[in-house]
């Protein structure tokens, strides 16, 4: 027995000491890289890191908070950089496909004016129609042409869909039913009015399904595409309205919407990849909730996750950025406490990229610095994105081009 305890003692004495906890502050500092954004170009250590990290990427994903001034400018510069360096020539956006279809003209000096005219004619068709967002659309079209943009969002302008369906109606009865629905959609004069349509969505959904049945449009026809898109969008809105009334269906507002965007993307991706004879390389610009790798905070596996997995299937990878424009709707002091362990101690004065990849092996040590109930959010951010980008000195986006009120 004495020999046994002696052996155990010797083993313990010879065992290596437990590793010291990592210095999370030092790791964060080393992972932080400043960059500059001037003249529509990115430069500096942060930009160099993005260039290197995306060299073999099929997709570059950028998730944002909407209606910020500097964020669209960053996205234009980012797209210009990865297009020039890596041949990425498609930009997938959180917009109605009919909005992009409405920009078929060849980019020219009046491109922005024509986009503004489209936004004024159908106030909800371009869901993000602030001045910097509209300029972003014109700028990226100027970089790589009219086929650059892909819109895969649900239908956002019922009036635009129904106007065309009136012209496509197979008989007078169906035309009258379509015009009746159009009379409900036409008064939607802006983004603030969309709530009126959403509140009626549960009732309108049944009418649209009946309209689709009465149309008897051949599968894949223009009428079928419009009717299917409008009905699916109304279904998605109906979950929001029903949840607002107390019914436990809010989850489907997220999961069904993500499913629709995935199907819309894959249809376009498959067709263009076959035509090209090679997989399409694209950048995505969406709200941050849609760009997670893995399950997002609203319990859906989003379009961003699909992009990551599709890139892996093709022997590539996707690179995801989480963008925070600071100074507008998002203020430094308003950032959630759970995010603070991976941010600098004070607001940066210049654009800053924080590389999350070195933080992943020690993510639990960052998570321990926040309330236990919030740790999952920090872990999901570290694992779901490759970098956080901070854009200080921003502001709320202006809306002078369309005359829409600022949200």
| Residue boundaries of the structural domains of the chain | 24-153+281-391, 158-252
Q: For position 187, what pLDDT does the model report?
A: 85
Q: What Rg, from alpha-carbon coordinates, does the chain have? A: 24
Q: For position 2, what pLDDT does the model report?
A: 54
Give which of 115, 102, 64, 117 is closest to 283, Cα–Cα: 64
Give which of 68, 61, 67, 119 is closest to 91, Cα–Cα: 61
Count other C-beta atoms under 10 Å from residue 13's C-beta. 7
Q: For position 12, what pLDDT does the model report?
A: 46
Q: For position 235, what pLDDT does the model report?
A: 96
Q: For position 189, what pLDDT does the model report?
A: 65
Q: Which two tokens stand for residue 39?
A: 């003249």
Fold (topology level) of 24-153+281-391: Rossmann fold (3.40.50)
Distance from chain centroid for Cα 334: 22
The tens digit of pLDDT for each residue in 194-221 reads: 777 888 999 999 999 999 999 999 999 9
Q: For position 285, what pLDDT does the model report?
A: 98
Q: For position 326, what pLDDT does the model report?
A: 98
Instruction: Identify the bridge partners of residue 387 per DSSP, sorted by sequence position.
Output: 321, 355
Q: For position 407, what pLDDT does the model report?
A: 82
At 88, give phi and psi (nearest 5°).
-70, 125
Written as one string, the DSSP assignment of 19-47 is: PPPP-HHHHHHHTEEE-EEETTEEESHHH
Instruction: Identify the bridge partners of residue 64 per DSSP, sorted by sequence position.
Output: 287
Q: For position 3, what pLDDT does the model report?
A: 52
pLDDT below 70 — which residues of the chain?
1-19, 189, 191
At 343, give phi and psi (nearest 5°).
-115, 160
Query: Which pTM value belongs to this model?
Result: 0.94
Q: For position 18, what pLDDT does the model report?
A: 59
CA dist., res. 175 & res. 180, Å (int): 9
Sign of the alpha-carbon dihedral angle for 77, 101, 307, 385: positive
Instruction: Identify the bridge partners of residue 353 per DSSP, sorted by sequence position.
Output: 33, 389
At 351, give phi and psi (nearest 5°).
-55, 140
Give which of 70, 91, 69, 71 is closest to 80, Cα–Cα: 91
Q: For position 8, what pLDDT does the model report?
A: 45
CA dist., res. 63 & res. 358, Å (int): 20
Residue spans of alpha helices (H) in 171-280: 172-185, 194-215, 222-244, 250-276
Count other C-beta atoms under 10 Å from residue 228's C-beta. 17
- The answer to whether the CB of 281 falls within 8 A of the CB of 314 is no
Strand spans (E) along 288-329:
317-325
At 63, give phi and psi (nearest 5°).
-110, 135
Sign of the alpha-carbon dihedral angle for 159, 161, 162, 163: positive
Q: For position 107, what pLDDT does the model report?
A: 87
Inter-CA distances, 79 with 42, 54, 226, 282, Å: 10, 12, 30, 9
């Amino acid at each position: 027995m004495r020999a046994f305890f002696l052996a155990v003692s010797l083993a313990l004495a010879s065992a290596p000491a437990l590793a010291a906890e990592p210095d999370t502050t030092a790791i964060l500092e080393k992972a932080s890289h400043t960059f500059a954004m001037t003249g529509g170009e990115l430069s500096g250590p942060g930009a160099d890191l993005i260039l290197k990290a995306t060299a073999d990427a099929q997709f570059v994903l950028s998730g944002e908070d909407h209606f910020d001034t500097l964020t669209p400018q960053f996205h234009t510069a980012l797209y210009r950089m990865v297009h020039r360096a890596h041949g990425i020539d498609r930009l997938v956006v959180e917009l109605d496909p009919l909005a992009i279809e409405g920009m078929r003209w060849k980019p020219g000096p009046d491109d922005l004016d024509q986009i503004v005219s489209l936004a004024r004619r159908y106030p909800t068709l371009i869901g993000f129609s602030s001045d910097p967002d509209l300029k972003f659309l014109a700028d990226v079209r100027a970089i790589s042409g009219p086929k650059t943009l892909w819109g895969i969002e649900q239908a956002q302008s019922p009036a635009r869909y129904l106007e065309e369906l009136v012209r496509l109606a197979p008989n007078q009865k169906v035309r009258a039913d379509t015009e009746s629905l159009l009379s409900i959609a036409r008064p939607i004069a802006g983004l603030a009015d969309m709530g009126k349509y959403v509140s009626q969505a549960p009732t309108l959904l049944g009418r649209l399904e009946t309209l689709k049945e009465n149309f008897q449009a051949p599968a894949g026809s223009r009428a079928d595409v419009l009717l299917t898109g409008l009905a699916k969008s109304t279904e998605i809105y109906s979950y929001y309205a029903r949840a607002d009334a107390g019914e436990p269906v809010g989850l489907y507002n997220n999961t069904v919407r993500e499913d629709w965007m995935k199907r819309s993307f894959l249809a376009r991706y498959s067709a263009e990849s076959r035509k090209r004879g090679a997989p399409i390389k694209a950048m995505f610009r969406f709200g941050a909730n849609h760009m997670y790798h893995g399950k997002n905070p609203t319990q859906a596996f989003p379009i961003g996750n699909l992009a990551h997995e599709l890139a892996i299937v093709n022997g590539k990878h996707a690179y995801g950025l989480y963008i925070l424009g600071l100074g507008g709707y998002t203020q430094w002091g308003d950032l959630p406490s759970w995010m603070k362990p991976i941010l600098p101690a004070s607001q940066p004065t210049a654009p800053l990229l924080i590389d999350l990849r070195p933080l992943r092996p020690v993510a639990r040590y960052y998570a321990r610095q926040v309330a236990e109930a919030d740790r999952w959010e920090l872990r999901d951010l570290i694992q779901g994105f490759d970098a956080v980008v901070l854009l200080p000195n921003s502001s709320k986006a202006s809306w002078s081009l369309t005359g829409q009120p600022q949200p």
